Structure 1
Amino acid sequence: METTKRDAACDGGSNEPVAGSGSPQRTTTTPATNGDASTQSPQHWRGQPIEAIHRGLQLFELEHLGPIQPSGFHRVLYKHPICESINEAPRPLKSAPKWDAQHVRLPCAEESKYPRENADGSSEIDSRWEMIERALLRPISNSKQLEAAILSYNTTYRNQWNFRSLHKLLREEFDKSEARVFFEDLLPRIIRLALRLPELIKAPVPLLKQYKTSALTLSQQQISCLLANAFLCTYPRRNTLKRKSEYSTFPDINFNRLYQAECPSTLEKLKCIFHYFRRVCPTERDSSNVPTGCVTFVRRSAKPEIQQDWSTSEAPLGNVPLHINAAGTIEDQGIGLLQVDFANKFLGGGVLGHGCVQEEIRFVICPELIVSKLFTECLRPHEALLMVGAERYSNYTGYANSFMWAGNHEDLTPRDSSRRRQTAIVAIDALQFRETSMQYRKDLMERELNKAHVGFMPWMPTLSPGIATGNWGCGAFGGDPHLKALLQLMVCADLGRPLAYFTFGNEQLRDDLHAMWQLFRNRGTTVQELWFLLRRFDQRLLKTNTNLNLYDFLKEELLRATKATASASTSASSSNVTPTSGTSGSVEETNAMMMAASLDSHPSEKLTPPSKTRQLTLLEMLDNHYEKGQTAAGSKRPRHSASSAGSSSTTTTPATMKCRKESLDDLDASSSSNSNNPR
């Protein structure tokens, strides 16, 4: 990911030669398709086997979305119901074109105009689409000619764009035979597909805009055509980065930045893109490789004023079926589950730039996801994007600068009744923290909880599939993986969804999270209890001058509460006092334990006596105690010094912190500014 706002491990390779791949022939490896944790080395995972995350059912027995049904909420760009055979692509839906702020401005629209330069130096307004056709239908035999063709209908950027990486791939990385195959076979196929835009997209493409829940379904063939145009940089008004431009709140879609991004992963991402087009672009004589499925994109927008109250959730954390894996990946071991995309709020992050971490890798091995950048406005704090049906075309190795294309991938995921691959991916963007300590603030933890909640919330009234996630928002975004794991566990508990958590090689995190989950299960700890403890951890950071470890703090507080309960029970027994309500496992008693532990650890702080007219509830007492601590702490909140700002460790040193001044909006705005490292 790049420093502009636009901006794991692997399978085997291909058992067939790939045109213009620049990589040796490999052997295809099919990922596990039965979700059997017993096929993995036992030391790699903790908790419950992956079968428990599937609720003991078949991998694809639980649905993420119901059958496609066009409506005012859900636009479908092909004729529905589909009458064509399963081997034929759905026929495009035809309706009146629109050229407005609510729809994608297509380059083939009559209103799409551009200044054409004449030989005498003069210029005149011409049809942009006719300029594109003239440029691309001329012979193109090398990368310089391809660059000239693209710039002929993007003359404004003639002195700004460069195609260094594209030239390097085609001139240096590919040998002569591979380059010849690209220019004589693959590129003409891409151009033919792109120029079919008026034929394949006959209805306006709606924009999935902020503050509105809406859905869009396209055929895979339509997506390939839209991506071919992105490859050739034909989309108007999508190139400027000016803050007040029409599409300033949308991701970029034209591929020009990818062609000039100079980093090791760029060439490998281009290989993934080339391979995708080789798979989906028909030849002049054979169209049997045209994909015939469909992909649905759903933007969910919750009402900002109606958010979850985490202080009232009595869901037991230990009841969440939890599988923690240090070796697996979300895309392989998470098949059939709702797979989390650690997204940039501008969808795709730096996939068309320098970025090559979790989100970008997923987008290049499943390029149909890239089309979401065309019509999805950047996500607000209360929004998520669900993508169902995208196919995987490539295998890979490595991560970030070590990322490499590793050959063809045959996606064996079955399709649902609407022709969608039963792969569901939800994009949720985390906040970026310049100082590690900031993420424990109540409002910022609430933001992350509510973001995950809107992403994880089921669409179906039936039993929902589990969640496959990992270190969301960690890495360069400064998130503490120990905290993020707990926040996502809280959301899954509240929604009743099983959780498969992949630590991407972090065995210590795997073991720490498992031990904490076991403690929650043994004690019957609830979401509301953990929420109060997390708030107290933040309050403690303001007062102490010693190092604090989040999980050590939680264990200490839970142990103190347990001892306080045992002491209270002994005292009640000796005085022959019978509790008036609840049982030993009730929420009320658990909160009483927490209250006793709180008073024990802060003997100088006294709670306000309960009113004579109405007895305060234990939760209200806890709130009073918390707010009193906040007042005592004052308005200044310490934070890490710059030397420790990038740390994702759970150990925090408040003595070295500075005043936290950034607001939630500042953090949200900054979450797109640094996308060159793992999120």
Structure 2
Amino acid sequence: QPANKVFPHFVPSLSGFSLTSEVKTQDVEYDVPKANSTDGKDEVLFGAEKGWLGTPIDELNRMPQCAPPLSHLKVVPNHTVTVRTDLLREGEVPVPYPTKFKDAWDDVSVKMPCSEKNLFPMETEDGGGVQSRWELIHTALQGGFKKRSHLTILLLQCLFFPTLSSLQCLELCEAQHLFEVVLPAMVSLALSAPRLCTLPIPLLKSRMNHSLTMSQEQIACLLANAFFCTFPRRNSRKSEYCNYPEINFYRLFEGSSSRKIEKLKTLLCYFRRVSQIRPKGLVTFTRQMVNNPPNWESSQTQLTRLHITCEGTIEDDGYGMLQVDFANRFVGGGVTGHGLVQEEIRFLINPELIVSRLFTEAMEYNECLIITGTEQYSKYSGYAESYKWKESHTDETDDWQRRCTEIVAIDALKFRHFLEQFLPEKMVRELNKAYCGFFRSNTNSKHLSAVATGNWGCGAFGGDTRLKALIQLMAAAEAGRDMAYFTFGDAQLMRDVHEIHTFLTGRKVTVGRLYSLLNQYSSTVCKNCRTTRPDESLYSFIYQKVSSQTATDALKVISDGTDTKNLW
């Protein structure tokens, strides 16, 4: 299929929802020395065919195998559930709760497009008046999509933004299926809001700990409304929702860049799936705030196990683990706009994540968003400009009918200057943010899945990969979790992080001791640095300090006549 085609996978004759593409790969050989793993077993000598180091990934905890049995899902003061929990049955679509639509037009709930208070000012002979926006939306959406221009007219009439210019490349059969099957199904889904989304949806505001569980069908309804841009007061940065992410998709329809075309392919794959077969699962969104982070300086916690690889991805190889979303403080980042890096890609292939933008206020320094149960609907290749939708994807569910996918959104600081991130207060902020994402109260570590992460806060955010790796290892240790770290093709980073982890665990360096070393590096190396980057690297500094301290301790013990075998 031509590369600029938007919807070739919507033609019924195309089985498997697949797009053909050729990807050339280059073999890379890794010269990794033999080392001892943290559990005392000899590791295999890795070569070109083995792109990982440390603990084998199959030895790390995954959900649902490591999880205790789930208690019955129920409504409690800090957990809103929008379905009938007493009627939950495996293989059946959850029933909305309550039975009839309950309107709420206030500052603690999402303002719904179907609210009777959602009014549109009209000019009349008497000088003015109002009309129900929902009636206008209803009329416009039910107008049909027999011609491409109908969608343009609809968007201009209801939503006042430019046309979907990328639709001009559709061939007749593709356009016919899109406008006669897919879009009408999406319209039906959007207009079912008063029947499906009957309970007011709480805003997950800053400084609150609250969970929201919804059905996948309810989320699909909300996302269909986001596609048609029907959510009121959400198109202006000056509105009451200025501290919330964008939810309406209007920016996705501006222009016809290759990025946006691939985004539309991915999203419309989702809408086709949920339109064809009603989804039966649940998704939980939890805003978590941690007011009492660890005392990093005095911590006696040992680092936990590490699997590190330059191959694979968080979403595939980290299945069943706590998967880190390298988030913007406005969750989803530029998913509905031009952005197309780690967070945006995850929100595209798991589109149910996007609905969190409807009700999640921007995250503060000690907050995270945990999303359990979103389904991955698409597979992809590439990154940023090279991103391509590939094919459809299917997942499994847990005892609450949720997909076995737990994603945590944690936002890293953005640094303009390299040395800035080594300031003690900046490192503490990143430690606390990562810990907030990894920590779960009243949960035994044996029931916690490993963290699946990578170069969080690096790239465009200016973070140093080697510092961020240590910060995440420290936070994971305090939270009682092992870690699977994906370097996204960086074999040297894989070796460096594995070697420092082996060095630190072999010498039983605690989190508190490592925290002290980070601060020493800041005060002695970074503070006096006259260049943009210090001459001495962080890891070299740590090796030197720990080795010299170990040697000093050994000499002291020898002079005292004590057995030295426990020093090494």
TM range (shorter): 0.7 to 0.9
After superposition, what is the alpha-carbon deviation per residue over 1:253-282, rounded to whole angstroms, capped at 9, x for unaligned?
A: 000011115532111011111111100014
Residues 225 and 41 of structure 1: CA distance in aligned 2, closer, same or farther (over 3 Å):
farther
2:258 matched to 1:258?
Answer: no
Residues 263 and 557 of structure 1: CA distance in aligned 2, closer, same or farther (over 3 Å):
farther
Match of 1:343 in 2: 327
Match of 1:270 in 2: 264
Matched residues in 2 for 1:333 and 1:343: separation?
A: 20
Match of 1:450 in 2: 432
Matched residues in 2 for 1:64 and 1:143: separation?
A: 51
Task: For residue 520 of structure 1, give the secondary structure of its aligned residue in structure 2.
Answer: helix
Match of 2:157 in 1: 152
Match of 1:378 in 2: 362
The answer to whether the Cα contact below 8 Å between 1:89 and 1:291 also exists between their aligned partners in 2 is: no
Aligned with 1:72 (options 68, 72, 77)? 77
Task: For residue 87 of structure 2, give the secondary structure of its aligned residue in structure 1.
Answer: coil
Counterpart amino acid of 1:48?
A: T
Query: Identity over aligned residues, as a percent?
Result: 41
Residues 24 and 451 of structure 1: CA distance in aligned 2, closer, same or farther (over 3 Å):
same
Match of 1:493 in 2: 477
Match of 2:551 in 1: 563
Counterpart amino acid of 1:238?
A: R
Matched residues in 2 for 1:209 and 1:273: separation?
A: 27
2:528 matched to 1:543?
Answer: yes
Matched residues in 1 for 2:540 and 2:219: separation?
A: 49
Aligned with 2:228 (options 221, 229, 232)? 232
Match of 1:664 in 2: none
Residues 28 and 376 of structure 1: CA distance in aligned 2, closer, same or farther (over 3 Å):
farther
The answer to whether the Cα contact below 8 Å between 1:21 and 1:275 also exists between their aligned partners in 2 is: no
Counterpart amino acid of 1:313?
A: S
2:21 matched to 1:26?
Answer: no
Alignment of structure 1 residues 148-187 onto 2, 5 Å: 148-154=153-159, 158=160, 161-163=161-163, 166-168=164-166, 170-172=167-169, 174-187=170-183
Match of 1:5 in 2: none
After superposition, what is the alpha-carbon deviation per residue over 1:115-162, rounded to whole angstroms, capped at 9, x for unaligned?
A: 2467x99763110100101111113334442132123233xxx3xx32
Counterpart amino acid of 2:56?
A: P
Matched residues in 2 for 1:551 and 1:21: separation?
A: 56
Match of 1:310 in 2: 296
Alignment of structure 1 residues 13-412 onto 2, 5 Å: 18-19=10-11, 26=18, 43-54=50-61, 60-62=65-67, 67-84=72-89, 86-94=91-99, 96-116=102-122, 124-154=129-159, 158=160, 161-163=161-163, 166-168=164-166, 170-172=167-169, 174-242=170-238, 245-260=239-254, 262-282=256-276, 289-303=277-291, 306-317=292-303, 320-411=304-395
Match of 2:5 in 1: none
Question: How far 1:74 moved relative to its partner?
Answer: 0.3
Counterpart amino acid of 2:168?
A: R
Matched residues in 2 for 1:21 and 1:224: separation?
A: 25
- Gaps (5+ residues) in structure 1? 1-15, 30-36, 283-288, 591-679
The answer to whether the Cα contact below 8 Å between 1:21 and 1:178 also exists between their aligned partners in 2 is: no
Residues 264 and 17 of structure 1: CA distance in aligned 2, closer, same or farther (over 3 Å):
closer
The answer to whether the Cα contact below 8 Å between 2:70 and 2:400 also exists between their aligned partners in 1 is: no
Matched residues in 2 for 1:336 and 1:64: separation?
A: 15
Instruction: Report how many residues are paired.
Output: 532
Matched residues in 1 for 2:248 and 2:69: separation?
A: 31
Counterpart amino acid of 2:108?
A: Q
Match of 1:658 in 2: none
Matched residues in 1 for 2:20 and 2:318: separation?
A: 19
Task: For residue 81 of structure 1, give the secondary structure of its aligned residue in structure 2.
Answer: helix
The answer to whether the Cα contact below 8 Å between 1:19 and 1:275 also exists between their aligned partners in 2 is: no
Matched residues in 2 for 1:514 and 1:85: separation?
A: 43
Q: What is the TM-score normalised by the length of structure 1?
A: 0.74
Counterpart amino acid of 1:220?
A: Q
Matched residues in 2 for 1:229 and 1:22: separation?
A: 28
The answer to whether the Cα contact below 8 Å between 2:262 and 2:389 also exists between their aligned partners in 1 is: yes
After superposition, what is the alpha-carbon deviation per residue over 1:572-619, rounded to whole angstroms, capped at 9, x for unaligned?
A: 33xxxx89xxx9869xxx9xxxxxxxxxxxxxxxxxxxxxxxxxxxxx
2:502 matched to 1:518?
Answer: yes
Question: How far 1:98 moved relative to its partner?
Answer: 1.4
Match of 1:34 in 2: none
Q: What is the TM-score normalised by the length of structure 2?
A: 0.88
Residues 584 and 235 of structure 1: CA distance in aligned 2, closer, same or farther (over 3 Å):
farther
- Gaps (5+ residues) in structure 2? 1-7, 22-42
Residues 90 and 315 of structure 1: CA distance in aligned 2, closer, same or farther (over 3 Å):
same
More moved, 90-99 vs 193-202:
90-99
Residues 565 and 355 of structure 1: CA distance in aligned 2, closer, same or farther (over 3 Å):
same
Question: How far 1:178 moved relative to its partner?
Answer: 0.6
Question: How far 1:567 moved relative to its partner?
Answer: 2.3
Matched residues in 2 for 1:129 and 1:196: separation?
A: 12
The answer to whether the Cα contact below 8 Å between 1:208 and 1:377 also exists between their aligned partners in 2 is: yes
Task: For residue 244 of structure 2, give the secondary structure of its aligned residue in structure 1.
Answer: coil
Matched residues in 2 for 1:41 and 1:59: separation?
A: 32
Question: How far 1:67 moved relative to its partner?
Answer: 4.6
The answer to whether the Cα contact below 8 Å between 1:393 and 1:408 also exists between their aligned partners in 2 is: yes
Matched residues in 2 for 1:380 and 1:261: separation?
A: 33
Task: For residue 297 of structure 2, give the secondary structure of its aligned residue in structure 1.
Answer: coil
Question: How far 1:308 moved relative to its partner?
Answer: 2.0
